[in-house]
Amino acid sequence: MKKALSRIYLVFIFILLYAPIVVLIIFSFNDSKTRAKWGGWTWKWYASMFQDQTIMSALWNTLIIAVLSALIATILGLMASVSLLAMKHKRRSVVLSLLDIPMLNAEIVTGISLMLLFIAIGQFLSRWGYTIEFGFATVLIGHITFNIPYTVLLIMPKLRQINISTYEAALDLGASRWFAFRKVIVPDIMSGLLSGFMLAFTLSLDDFVITHFTKGPGFDTISTKVYTEVRKGIKPEMYALSTLLFVCILVLILVFGRGHRKKPMLSDMIQV
């Protein structure tokens, strides 16, 4: 009886979580321009999305921002983790709590604060005739900023576990500091670096709010395109694109999750 009840409950939550996803996937096969009516099955949106310039550029922007911001955030997160562990306890907790701000603060506030910063810098620079263009660079800076705390959270525990004597041994054997760091420490914390990168990548891929405030006109990611299209009606190609991306990430997670770790990737995020 108890077992049956908990099964039913699991199924209930499962339906709640997956109903909208099923709806979206079905839409991507709907042979009708509007969501309102069903026009039969079709693959055509999967073909036509590759012809749509604006969708392709939004996809390109989304991916390049996600890769670059995850990469830079992982490098900065690694540097931050190293220097945080070298700090005295009190100073470390101060820096850590400052680093946590983008994670704990509301996204809308983080987005607005960055937007205002860029506006203020732009006004300052305009005295010399320079301007700040809202677009790729400003969005990238925003994404790196909200990604850093997550990479630190995944890298620092790994770094804490390494045996520092191996690094010292490398130094004693004549390795330079950088060489020893690259060859001894980095391989030891590779799993932390990878999961930090993956988490940052997926967070960036899905972000809307920060992008919304730091982007300029003419620059769109998938999320901001959905937001502006909502009123005039979403192009069916967007459903196809999102379904495709969803399946890609799913495959990626299954491959990575199986190969390197016992627990699924995202359970790391739980600890966040």
Partner 1 sequence: MRKLRKLWLDGPYLVWMAAFIIIPLFTIVYYGLTDKSGAFTWNNILEMGTPERMKALLLSLILSLIATAFCLVMAYPLALILTGMKGGATAFIVSIFIIPMWMNSLLRILAWQTLLERNGVINQILGMLHLPKLYIINTPYAIALGMIYDFLPFMILPIYNSLQKIDPNVVNAAYDLGANKFQTFWKVIFPLTLPGVISGITMVFVPALTTFVISSFLGGSKILLIGNVIEQQFTQVGDWNVGSGLSLVLMVFILISMAVMQHYDKAADEETTKL
Q: How far is CA 263 from the centre of its chain?
A: 20
Query: Is residue 125 a contact point for partner 1 (CB under 8 A)?
Result: no
Q: Does 263 bind partner 1 (CB under 8 A)?
A: yes
Among residues 4, 16, 89, 128, the one that binds partner 1 under rule CB under 8 A: 16
Instruction: Kindly state the tokens that stand for 37.
Output: 């009516």
Strand partners, 30: 41
Binding of partner 1 by 68 (CB under 8 A)? no
Site string for partner 1, 69-108 (x = CB under 8 A): -------xxxxx-xx-xx--------x--xx-xx-xxxxx
Identify whether the C-beta of residue 257 lies closer than 8 Å to the C-beta of residue 249. no
Q: Angle at the Cα of 256 (from 255 to 257), degrees rounded to 5?
A: 95
Please, which of residues 148-187 interact with partner 1 by CB under 8 A?
Answer: 148, 164, 167-168, 177-178, 181, 185
Contact residue for partner 1 among 1, 13, 40, 131 (CB under 8 A): 13
Q: Which of residues 41-60 bind partner 1 (CB under 8 A)?
A: none
Among the listed residues 15, 23, 64, 255, the single contact to partner 1 using CB under 8 A: 23
Question: Look-up: residue for tokens 């995020």?
Answer: 269
CB of 173 to partner 1, least distance (A): 15
Say if CB 89 and CB 204 are below 8 A apart. no
Closest separation between CB of residue 51 and partner 1, Å?
21
Contacts of 144 (CB under 8 A, 6+ apart): 69, 72, 73, 76
Q: Is 188 among the residues that bind partner 1 (CB under 8 A)? A: no
Measured CA distances, 272 to 16, 86, 148, 237, 242 (Å): 24, 22, 13, 34, 26
Which range, of 12-20, 50-58, 125-133, 189-197, touches partner 1 by CB under 8 A? 12-20
4 binds partner 1 (CB under 8 A): no
Q: For residue 255, state whether it binds partner 1 (rule: CB under 8 A).
A: no
Q: Do residues 42 and 30 touch, judged by C-beta distance below 8 A? A: yes
